[in-house]
Structure 1
Amino acid sequence: MRVAAALGAPIGAPGGAVRGIDRRLKLAACPAPVTIEPPAMAAATVRCDPLGWRIRVPLVMPATALATRAAAEKPEPIIRKGDQVELTAASACFSVSTIGIAEQDGAAGDRIRIRSDRKGPPVIGIVGEDGSVSLPGFK
């Protein structure tokens, strides 16, 4: 009840708790008022500082917040499916590169499939900031 009041939304509503706190939790009664922290990472934290316990209460995220978070987390692809890319395997002693065709879109740091031979299987490479692709395991 206090969690719903602190969050400003009832249980099951966007911005409110997914469900009520499980009554089977055997937490010692807090001698002071519990602290309810603002939501972070889709959960609110209920804390009893005198006894040292805390629980995280999952929240129902509004659809607009989920769409905004997904858009913010997904960077724009540097490489698009069908692009010709340089595929490189390098170590301290050597460097080998070839040209391949991207089989999927990829942003910097993503792992994508590259096909360098029409008859051979694709390889997985890591997209670099400059649009090149390197094979993992080679440094």
Structure 2
Amino acid sequence: MRHLFVGPLAASLLATAAAAATPMDLSMIDRAVADFTGAEIGQPGGAKLPVDRRLRLASCQTPLDLQWFGRDQRSVQIACPSAGWRIYVAVDNGGGGAMHGAPAYGETLVHRGEAVSIQVRGGGFTLTRQGSAMEDGAQGEWIKVRATGERTETLRAMVIRPGQVGIELP
């Protein structure tokens, strides 16, 4: 009777070891950064370059933790708490210097009906979802947004940059 359980147990252990040895799919990190920033690789506001394909990161068994890094939001920090790694991706801020291309005070960055990336951040996690703006808004203003697929409920989110709004949870 004991011999019947040894085969499935050994197969399960081998499958777990194989999954742990599988490297992280770097295109998933590229996609996560694009979703987080609201812009594709090479576009203003998006990653300057794809993640270096020479990296061999352990596969992440938990959701990736993405957050802005640096005072001027010039990089995105991507971390995998379960695998213990952290990398940084440079972001194209659209110009040469920190002041170049900066919006004027009160300038509308998000327009009603525009597609936006909605970022919800809390202790140790960041969720990003696409949606649409229900109002115009300048940087730092709170506007109504509606997540894609939701028809009745609107959320209040702060305008972060063109095409991106956010909600900070305690």
Structure with greater helix percent:
2
TM range (shorter): 0.3 to 0.5
Structure with greater strand percent:
2
* TM-score, reference length from structure 2: 0.37
Larger Rg, first or second structure (1 or 2):
1
* TM-score, reference length from structure 1: 0.45
